[in-house]
Amino acid sequence: MSEPSVYEVIRRRRDVRAEFSGEIVEDATLLRILDAAHRAPSVGNSQPWDFVIVRDPATLAAFAAHVADKRIEFHDALPPERARTFEPIKIEGITESGTGIVVTHADERGGPQVLGRATVPETGLYSTILAIQNLWLAATAEGVGVGWVSFYDEPFLTDLLELPAGVRPVAWLCVGPVHELQEVPDLERFGWRSRRPLDAAIHWERYRSAQPF
């Protein structure tokens, strides 16, 4: 069986919630995925990321409970029509995946003079995001699902993982084998928001502002 092309992997990639099989991703596979993430480009070769692997059931359960509370807060803040649309949407697979990878960012990594970051300081964080993208695409190529959880308070996760000062959590990624990957992303399937066509996102020479947000 031939390996999928990068274009095929990009097309297949999904934010996984309900499709985890319950099996734990093998360590050898996990390390290949993390190696791909660690090969991401970074401003000034600073590599400002770290990866915290979480498998302790108590930690997974504690984070899942916190996320459940944040989900309720978001639901209750929505207008009634949007709340009804949101209700069936699953937002995480923390315990089902069995493995969490928390990607952290250290802005001071690389020292006070990071080559390429002087005028655009956000490029450090952008570098960490590129590592996450590498991780996600490598996982998809391996047949492993990834779900990005963003319903949390950063101080809670910082305390839960005992992150040191200067290191912030950027993403909790649920990682594990899946039964399948959905053909249509969840937020489209459940009617939350449709995908923009490519031609609406392309601008030639100057930005045209006629497109609605």
Beta strands in the chain (DSSP E): 49-54, 100-106, 144-149, 167-177
Q: Tell me the C-alpha distance between 74 and 154, whole Å.
A: 16
- The order of strands in the sheet holding 144-149 is 49-54, 100-106, 167-177, 144-149
What's the mean pLDDT in 12-29? 96
Report pLDDT for 211.
62
Report pLDDT for 133.
98
Question: Comparing 107 with 1, which gets the higher pLDDT?
Answer: 107
pLDDT tens digit sequence for 70-106: 999 999 999 999 999 999 999 999 999 999 999 999 9
Residue 213 has pLDDT above 80, yes or no: no
What is the reported pTM?
A: 0.91
Give the least confident one: 8-22, 30-44, 165-179, 197-211: 197-211
What's the mean pLDDT in 49-77? 97
Report pLDDT for 187.
87
User: Exposed (0-12), middle (13-18) or buried (19+): which is 40, by Cβ within 10 Å?
Assistant: middle
Q: Tell me the C-alpha distance between 62 and 47, whole Å.
A: 29
The CATH number for 6-201, chosen from 2.40.40.20, 3.40.50.2000, 3.40.109.10, 3.40.50.720, is 3.40.109.10
Report pLDDT for 210.
64
Q: Tell me the C-alpha distance between 47 and 127, whole Å.
A: 7
